[in-house]
Structure 1
Amino acid sequence: MSYTYDYPRPALTVDAVIFGLDEDELKILLIQRAGEPFKGSWAFPGGFVEMDETTEEAVQRELEEETGIKDVFLEQLYTFSGVQRDPRERVVSVAYFGLVKPSGLRMAAASDAQDVRWFAIDQIPDLAFDHREILQVALKRLRGKIRYEPIGFELLPPEFTMSQLLRLYSNALGKPVDKRNFIRKIKKFGILNELPKKRRDGAHRPATLYSFNGEKYRQLKQAGIDFEL
């Protein structure tokens, strides 16, 4: 049975803010719009929610359709409802964000996207709609979470150097990290496994490799010990 409403209703969309670590640099995934409005402009993957799907299903579908990337763990970020955010009509968007390792991902622009590309955080082009605002909210969430949860390890390879870890946190937080204090804190938690092998890190002497000890972190969490860097 269909219903007729006496008042207009806003349309509902979703947007996916995907962070990735590429060559030790934090980047964001953007698509170049193939149609109006903002044709040719860069934006987050996303689109309208269909009548028979949830916002969670919609954002995964749009991400796969426009970039080729699928099965990404996404966390709801915020609902953006500015009255003038979309020139077509009254549109409310539920934004999600996730963390991935770009290496090994197969990307292909399709659907409403004519291109898909990773951009460094400090080299973001002009964005369509209110996506600049969405990016700022996502960065704020990322910078808060990375200080209190070990989400940074989701961006690193299974084996990494301390320099890589430092660069990640400095890049994600948008400011230099005190090296000595950071290493002291991270080692105090015992969530790093020191591996019996080394890797040459640039022109310096071979660096010790580490891996993330997820089981140790879960034990700390169950014991009520706060992870804060």
Structure 2
Amino acid sequence: MEGYDKHAFEPFAVTVDLAVFTVRAGALQVLLIERGQEPYAGCRALPGGFVLPKESAGTAARRELAEETGLSDVSGLHLEQLRTYSEPDRDPRMRVVSVAYAALLPDAPEPRGGGDAASAHWLPYDGLGPLAFDHERILADARERIGAKLEYTCLATAFCPPEFTLGELQQVYETVWGAVLDRPNFRRKVLATPGFVEPVPGAARLTGGRGKPAALYRAGDATALHPPLLRAAAGSPPPTTSPSPPASSSSSSTPTSSKGSSS
């Protein structure tokens, strides 16, 4: 454009960061890399990197995920934009603005490091310790976003395999929310919501014990829950301790149970 000086403003970089979650071994786990370059070489970080001149942020997010973790074939990946992080001092190299994404995977494959990532691993969300850049904040924001969306959308099915039991679906809610849900109440609410899940005719799966096989379901065509399944009304947080009941009580206590990655 005539008269426009593109050098009038100081340049800055745009990056993407991905907070990728899955449920494994009954725990919420997150995909992290070990940075292979400075800054923060050897530190854990979210997968991510710089947006190239000819690509969108969404395209860059999928490319970086494949390059740094080897997860290129992720047909079940649910990916949505979280927010933009633009604090001036968030990257020691230069001014870097990051577009962060939250992603969910059901039966998550094992990652492998690549690109500028020395390694990649699924790690339990609880007790991760310090992360590079402002990735602890991004990860916390992503966790809260997912927990909130489980209340009023059918997003929980994105954590499940194509065919799942209601017990497996309930475990997703309990794992993400950190709460124990009443099984009959949960089952009633799920089955009463049109389009939340659909039964798989004639399919069942043994889930342990001596009971009969559990019926299998698949995700329905609904996207929203009416009414929502609220965390406050769904259950109680698990106790931090499991004290023994008083000797006089007859009941027992049941425990509730970058490629220059940016940003």
TM-score tier by shorter-chain length is: 0.7 to 0.9
Q: How does 1:165-184 map to 2 (within 5 A)?
A: 165-184=169-188
Q: Could you say if the C-alpha distance between residues 99 and 227 of structure 1 is closer, same or farther in structure 2, counting changes exceeding 3 Å?
A: farther
User: For 1:205 and 1:122, how far apart are their aligned partners in 2?
Assistant: 33
User: For 1:197 and 1:59, how far apart are their aligned partners in 2?
Assistant: 37
Specify the alignment match of 1:214 in structure 2. 220
1:83 maps to 2:83: no
Preserved CA contact (<8 Å) 2:68 2:117: yes
Question: Structure 1 length normalisation: TM-score?
Answer: 0.86
User: How many residues matched?
Assistant: 222
Specify the alignment match of 1:54 in structure 2. 56
Among residues 211, 232, 235, which one is paired with 1:205 in the alignment?
211
1:120 maps to 2:97: no
Q: For 1:79-125, what per-residue CA distance to the aligned partner results, in whole angstroms no more than 9, with x for missing partners?
A: 0112221111111100011111244x363211110111111221323
Q: Which amino acid aligns with 1:164?
A: E
User: For 2:103 and 2:125, how far apart are their aligned partners in 1?
Assistant: 15
Q: Could you say if the C-alpha distance between residues 35 and 123 of structure 1 is closer, same or farther in structure 2, counting changes exceeding 3 Å?
A: same
Among residues 31, 34, 55, which one is paired with 2:33 in the alignment?
31
User: For 1:109 and 1:213, how far apart are their aligned partners in 2?
Assistant: 32
Q: Could you say if the C-alpha distance between residues 194 and 73 of structure 1 is closer, same or farther in structure 2, counting changes exceeding 3 Å?
A: closer
Larger radius of gyration: 2
Q: Which amino acid aligns with 1:174?
A: G
* Structure with higher helix content: 1
User: For 1:93 and 1:195, how far apart are their aligned partners in 2?
Assistant: 45
Shift of 1:37: 0.8
User: For 2:220 and 2:135, how far apart are their aligned partners in 1?
Assistant: 34
Q: CA RMSD for the aligned pairs?
A: 2.4
Shift of 1:161: 2.6
User: For 1:98 and 1:227, how far apart are their aligned partners in 2?
Assistant: 25
Same amino acid, percent of matched pairs: 36
Specify the alignment match of 1:147 in structure 2. 151
Runs of 4+ in 1 over 6 A off after TM superposition: none
Q: For 1:166-214, what per-residue CA distance to the aligned partner results, in whole angstroms no more than 9, with x for missing partners?
A: 2110111122223332222112115341654543324452441321242
1:187 maps to 2:171: no
User: For 2:164 and 2:203, how far apart are their aligned partners in 1?
Assistant: 11
Preserved CA contact (<8 Å) 1:162 1:210: yes
Higher RCO (C-alpha 8 Å, min separation 6): 2
Q: Which runs of 5+ in 1 are unaligned?
A: none
Shift of 1:132: 0.5
1:160 maps to 2:160: no
Question: Structure 2 length normalisation: TM-score?
Answer: 0.76
